[in-house]
Structure 1
Amino acid sequence: MKYSTPVQKRDQPDDSYKFQPLPAPTGPFPYQLDIAQVIPDINTQKMTFHLAGDTGSIRSTDFQRKVITAMQAQFEQDNPPQFLFHLGDVVYNHGEASQYYRQFFGPFQNYPAPIFAIAGNHDSDVNPAAPPYHSLEPFVKVFCDTAPNTVPFSNDIARKSMIQPNVYWTLKTPLANIIGMHSNVPKFGIVTPEQQEWLKAELRSADAERPGKALVLCIHHAPYSADINHGSSIPMITLLEGIFEETGVRPDIVFSGHVHNYQRLVKKYNSGRSVCFVVAGGGGYDELHPIAELSDTRFTNKLDLFEGVTLENYCDQLHGFLRFSIEKTGVQLVMKGDYYSVADDGVVTMEDQFEIKL
């Protein structure tokens, strides 16, 4: 039997020494991007988009290409997605410019919509054996440009650079404020004090626009997880739950990657309110991460931090992606998620559906 709660992986080494300094912002504080600058005709009544993380792979792009092909097929259906929000680890293993064509520009060259992104730990790492470069330097050229340009290392692919103002930033849309964090290189993530203060201000700012807009938070390192490779990130749980408590603001949903599978966890707070934490990191890396077995002594769920958190559904044997929508129905916002797995033969199966009324 497998766990139905988050788990902590015991006896993990401290790798905080892997932390990398952040690059300078490319846009003005408070690092917000109006989606109308990228998609001028964005639907103001219903917004649909894809979410996927950990799409890159140093060994093979076969799984990634099958996932992308399945996502592309949805553009031939009713209510096609308007963009992809990538949850990090675009390029393995060290975020090198030389890997962006093979792992991003080539596979995504026929994806017919804009791609926004937060950086993962692999995007942020630096290869000591390569010619010198700074952490996130290629990522910034691809996603944090000041204007759409041909990326020098894209092999002249038609996709231009994105204009995000920073590696942590907020996407402003008519139906939601989507806050994208940067959690750096270490296995369980590190968020700088400066970013923490920014996050508090962005949460309060987004909360002021409720109930007309949803509040969505994206961070690469999954706070809650039941997988065998990483398990939950205690530093990210402590950080986020502390900030939620301090500000009195909790997001409507939290999306993460880092863990190579799909999980939908729900935390019920003492107030009676629940928040959904979704892991969607099965986007293409060839190694998937199974959910831990109850008999596996490497893991425990005996932590107060896990109180009230339940693993509602998961898919840990197949790659896949999430299709997510936010729709205004009268005065109410309704969020819907559909998670699709993609088998080795390309067969696409809906594995999970959920709905959240705000």
Structure 2
Amino acid sequence: MTTTPRAPKPAPHRFAADWAGRHCLDSQAGPYNAGSGFEPLPPPTGKQPFRLDLAKIIPDAVAAMKKSGGMCLHVVGDTGGVLDPRPQELVAAGLVADSAIAGPYGKPAFFYHLGDVVYFDGQADRYYPQFYLPYDYYPNPIIAIPGNHDGDRYDNGRLVETVPSLAAFVRNFCAAGPGIHTPEAMDAPRTAMIQPNVYFTLKTPFATFIGLYTNVPEGGEVKPDQRDWFAGELRAAPADKPVIVAMHHPIHSLDAYHSGSRTMAAVLAEAEAASGRQAHMVLAGHVHNYQRFTVTDAARGARPFIVAGFGGYHNLHRMMRIGGQDIVPPFTAPNDPNVVLENFVDDRFGFLRLDIDTETISINTYTVPRPQEPYRNPPRLRDTVTLDWKNRRLIA
């Protein structure tokens, strides 16, 4: 199958905007605001409270995790190579190479995708070139939350996708049962994932992943029913495991185009207040680069907020500048001394590898070669940190 992409949606210029009094929680501050209006969510394919046990997908790997005392996985978002497939192909090759490397708890067992699987408007015919074909040699299951482009149906006000929002995403990630080979997969052997809903909780032996769907509008939008569910899942999460929240729109970002989202900050704060529980780590995409923040609460310790939207969409987002100068980490946000940008990568594509055990989460960030560089170069470690999740402190 061949597809001819239409002209891209307006993209930001490749210069870095200055601070000019902005905040890392200013979702409308940048020059790029591609979000359309809120799209109704599709009906769930599973039963409330929308939980998926990893053992239903990879029972042998879960048994091996329990035996080894830990688990390993890949994480990244914003992968669809709609206009230039090379960055996505390079990241996919890096994921394949890394999937063969055994760490303290074995090889990575699955890939958690942070949204924007396909561009630009969730079309079914984009799933083969942007999802199934690039990961043809990736050996592990891929689990995903949708991004704004997965749910969008409009291009500059023009209706592009006439079926309901997320129809193709649901067909390929929320199948009613295992072993379903969708029309979008064509000759690829990968079958549809069995997630119970577009927002759901993934239960694993060593962590609880709560995945939100933050919809299409810039900055995200989450309705009361999902907010209530979120608080309930935080409350119900086992206390002897870390809670990792995944959302497409980031709460904190110092990029020059999107910035972070006050809306999503409020969603998290509301759920944590209602549940009496605090997430140990927050993962997001949407911004096409890598950023790692430490957010410190005097009463509840430190936790990482990570932007990992450098998974293959060709247009990387540069970081903003301060007084005409580039940001040099560690950088404390002028508007919030409790938020520190510890590291970032805005000039290369890559992925995360997480190792999780009963006490710690090790976060390793890798970048892959640029398209003009030798393809044989292995992924390069660019950032690493360990979270002592039990004591809520970071170990450099």
Q: What TM-score, normalized to structure 1?
A: 0.91
Structure 2 residue 245 is the aligned partner of structure 1 residue 217: yes
Structure 2 residue 49 is the aligned partner of structure 1 residue 21: no
Pairing of 1:194-343 with structure 2 (within 5 A)? 194-206=225-237, 209-210=238-239, 212-295=240-323, 303=335, 306-328=336-358, 333-343=359-369
1:160 counterpart residue number: 191
Structure 2 residue 173 is the aligned partner of structure 1 residue 143: yes
Residue 85 of structure 1 aligns to a residue in which SS?
strand
1:130 Cα deviation (Å)? 4.0
**Residue deviations 1:55-114 (CA, integer Å, cap 9, x gap):** 003201100010110111122222210000000000000000010001000001111000
Residue 311 of structure 2 aligns to a residue in which SS?
coil
Range moving further from structure 2, 174-183 or 119-128: 119-128
Cα distance in 2 for residues equivalent to 1:22 and 1:105: 24
**Residue deviations 1:302-339 (CA, integer Å, cap 9, x gap):** 64xx44111011111100100001023xxxx2110100
1:229 Cα deviation (Å)? 1.2
Range moving further from structure 2, 169-178 or 123-132: 123-132
Cα distance in 2 for residues equivalent to 1:320 and 1:167: 25
Cα distance in 2 for residues equivalent to 1:172 and 1:16: 31
Structure 2 residue 200 is the aligned partner of structure 1 residue 169: yes
Residue 99 of structure 2 aligns to a residue in which SS?
helix
Cα distance in 2 for residues equivalent to 1:25 and 1:14: 29
Conserved 8 A contact 2:146-2:198: yes
Cα distance in 2 for residues equivalent to 1:28 and 1:271: 37
2:393 counterpart residue number: none
Output the aligned Cα RMSD.
2.3
Q: How many pairs does the alignment contain?
A: 347
Cα distance in 2 for residues equivalent to 1:69 and 1:27: 33
Cα distance in 2 for residues equivalent to 1:28 and 1:102: 32
Q: Where do 5+ consecutive residues of structure 1 fail to align? A: none
* AA matched with 1:226: L
**Residue deviations 1:240-292 (CA, integer Å, cap 9, x gap):** 12322332211111100001011110111131511210111000010001111
- Percent identical residues: 37
2:97 counterpart residue number: 73
1:106 counterpart residue number: 133
Cα distance in 2 for residues equivalent to 1:336 and 1:221: 23
Conserved 8 A contact 2:311-2:350: yes
Range moving further from structure 2, 219-228 or 147-156: 147-156
Cα distance in 1 for residues equivalent to 2:218 and 2:340: 23
Conserved 8 A contact 1:6-1:310: no
